[in-house]
A and B are shown apart, each in its own frame.
Chain A
């Protein structure tokens, strides 16, 4: 097995493979449709040549050899020493797949099962058969044998799209660099003005009472006013730079639709071939630039819709001929940006949707009564197709599977705020339309306060808000709380219990946000101080990442940090949270594991740290403030202490001071947002902290290394 050791070259090769083989594949498909297109053939040869060159340079011998042989076949085709044939293209595509495998071996180090010899033999056959055929002109050229049944049935669509890295045009990079230079200069200007302010303060502090007259004071005030104005100017400049920066960075996220559209011609071709259908696949609008989150979101649904179209929609050539249709069906995938919407359509001219069948099924499943069925409109009726378990195709096929497909399409699209709809006249085909609003949508949050911190709950997640009396909450046999709402059982989750893990008494009347997850209802009980606000997207904290409780951070209308809760995660983990009281790991030594006292007031950060540490064989006891930490320290036995600085009751300094008065040896590590402030660092160290780490540039690896180093 061959693996490229050099990181940089490996990354370059990965991109080069995706690019050259991707376009080679498309060119082969296009050549198959129109073998006489000399220009396409030339470009194809160039791509193969470039790929061969790169493989050669990096010593990926197998890739070099196979691409050379494939290049040979197409050179022969160009010189007309062989004829094009369906077999030639099938083998060529198979070779491309094999090349991808070999390249991926060189990039990932995971051995691929590809047999180069087998492919070589096939290539040699297509490179010769037709010469041989000329010799024995009486033998008709055989139609290609079906691809072997052992062909891997993995999702072809899952590979080939690589949005891990993007290429940035120089111009964009220059714009960004320009922004950073501007930021730098504003920073310098502001620092200078701050110096002036400090000077002024020093001056005023030193002033002797009687030596200062009205004129002097007026002068000082005048300079302050001037400074004030300057700083205001700087801040407005800062504002515009940061907006620019945001815009540029967002533009960097834009990629052409082609990034995903290019995956499908091959897919459509293979399914059509397998099913003996003739399909002309048209792709439109692949140059449109869209945010990569939509591309990622579209990848699987589009594959599903296209599979469905070929599998269910498009008829076999005989059937089309009988209907008087062109025996070659047309399948169109188009993308367009109109009125701040991204519109993607998949349309085919196949048999369309059988309205009667859908009605029968809807009645059978109880979505419609017979009376309603008589007057139901298409939009509503066809909406049922996207519900779980709704499929009118009786037999299951290999390709599109059972009726789960459209359900997944819908949920995937809706998760990104899009919609999907289908139209059909029942005779001349089907059109699926996916729409995404592109305008930056403000989402709404309910913001609630728990123990002084703000937590956001995304409004869109909730069915409704109800007010309930705590007396109406019922306790089930297994100690779970629930409430009956319209005869539905609503599991009650008291948010404060989960966030701070303490049993809270319920108010007599509570606000209950109703959240539906699967078929179950959950009622989140929140405090009365519920605020509603709009926000522009959640930032994923560098430090936080995503965890079971929190999906990200945003700021409240008053500029406070607000943790946006992961409702799904909370509901899924309900079992784990049901324990009340402090979460304390048993302080019993277990083969080589360190007992660590974590003192941290923020629940999201504490949760994350605890998780990281426990994953790395620490036994963690978590206290929520300095005082609690001190008590834990005195009661238990610990190998080290990890503490925050800014905390309620006793802060980190106080805690360090007290611990050191008892124990001078235990390692104390500080992890704080004050990590950039030398004074805080010095103070903590004077008090006896061994190490001061910054939350702002937290690095898990480094953190664990430091901890390990201190303890060994």
Chain B
């Protein structure tokens, strides 16, 4: 059996976090290995748990999704999936 995909979720709304986590954990192939509510905490977490994939929101306190994505690519490059409900065309390009 293949190893599960290890995912970290970054999302400031606890509700969205909860729902995403349930969705992902319904799948047999995915395992949520950590969650954080802002970019800065997320960055710290990624250093610790070394996930395969990161899902992040864009609008967050302390460090937003854009800044966070930039930092991740510098420090621990890996796939990032942006899940957000504000999507301007410019945001898509920025990512």
A residues in contact (CB < 8 Å) with B: 8-9, 12-13, 15-16, 46, 49-50, 53-54, 56-58
Contact = CB atoms under 8 A, between A and B. Distances in A.
A53 B85 contact: yes
Contact of A16 (B14, B19, B59): B14
22 contacts: A9-B15, A9-B19, A12-B18, A13-B15, A15-B14, A16-B13, A16-B15, A46-B59, A49-B59, A49-B86, A50-B12, A50-B13, A50-B59, A53-B16, A54-B13, A54-B15, A54-B16, A57-B13, A57-B15, A57-B16, A57-B19, A58-B15
Interface in B1-43: 12-16, 18-19
A9 B12 CA distance: 15
Contacts of B18: 8-9, 12
A265 to B, nearest CB: 23
Interface in B68-95: 85-86
B20 to A, nearest CB: 9
A632 to B, nearest CB: 54
A45 to B, nearest CB: 10
Contacts of B15: 9, 12-13, 16, 54, 57-58
Contacts of A54: 13, 15-16
Nearest to A58: B15
**Across the A-B interface, the 3 shortest Cβ-Cβ residue pairs:** A54-B15, A12-B15, A12-B14
A56 B12 contact: no
A13 B13 CA distance: 10
B85 A56 contact: yes
Contacts of B86: 49
Given A12-B18, A46-B59, A58-B15, 10 more contacts: A9-B18, A9-B19, A12-B15, A16-B15, A49-B59, A49-B86, A53-B85, A54-B15, A57-B16, A57-B19
Contacts of A15: 14
A46 B38 CA distance: 14
Contacts of A49: 59, 86
B49 to A, nearest CB: 15
Contacts of B85: 53, 56
A304 B32 CA distance: 49
A12 B14 CA distance: 7
B10 to A, nearest CB: 15
A624 B64 CA distance: 67
Contacts of A8: 18
Nearest to A167: B14
The majority secondary structure among interface residues of chain A is: helix
A57 B19 CA distance: 8
Contacts of B16: 53-54, 57
A58 B19 CA distance: 9
Contacts, number: 30
Interface of B: 12-16, 18-19, 59, 85-86
Contacts of A46: 59
Scoring B13, B15, B86 by chain A CB atoms within 10 A of each residue's CB, the highest score goes to: B15
B91 to A, nearest CB: 14
A12 B12 CA distance: 13
Contacts of A53: 13, 16, 85
Contacts of A56: 85
A97 B19 CA distance: 27
Contacts of B14: 12, 15-16
Nearest to B20: A57
Contacts of B19: 9, 57
Nearest to B41: A170
Contacts of A9: 15, 18-19
Scoring A8, A15, A50, A53 by chain B CB atoms within 10 A of each residue's CB, the highest score goes to: A53
A103 to B, nearest CB: 12
Nearest to B11: A53
Nearest to A51: B13
A9 B85 CA distance: 19
Nearest to B17: A12
Nearest to A43: B61
A496 to B, nearest CB: 55
Nearest to A4: B15
Contacts of A16: 13-15
Nearest to A8: B18
A352 to B, nearest CB: 44
Nearest to A19: B14
A202 to B, nearest CB: 51
Nearest to A170: B41
A299 to B, nearest CB: 26
A13 B18 CA distance: 11
Contacts of B12: 50
A57 B11 CA distance: 13
A50 B59 CA distance: 9
Nearest to A10: B15
A67 B44 CA distance: 33
A15 B19 CA distance: 16
A53 B85 CA distance: 7
A16 B86 CA distance: 19
A13 B86 CA distance: 20
B9 to A, nearest CB: 14
A57 B20 CA distance: 10
Contacts of A13: 15
A15 B15 CA distance: 10
A46 B18 CA distance: 20
A57 B16 CA distance: 7
A53 B14 CA distance: 11
Contacts of A50: 12-13, 59
Nearest to B12: A50
A418 to B, nearest CB: 35
B40 to A, nearest CB: 14
B36 to A, nearest CB: 11
Contacts of A12: 14-15, 18
A90 B19 CA distance: 35
Contacts of A57: 13, 15-16, 19
A57 B13 CA distance: 10
Nearest to A20: B13
B42 to A, nearest CB: 14
A52 to B, nearest CB: 8
B57 to A, nearest CB: 9
A539 to B, nearest CB: 33
B72 to A, nearest CB: 22
B80 to A, nearest CB: 20
A16 B17 CA distance: 12
A8 B14 CA distance: 11
A670 to B, nearest CB: 43
A619 to B, nearest CB: 47
Nearest to B16: A57
Nearest to A13: B15
A39 to B, nearest CB: 14
Nearest to B14: A12
A53 B20 CA distance: 13
Nearest to A52: B85
B59 to A, nearest CB: 7
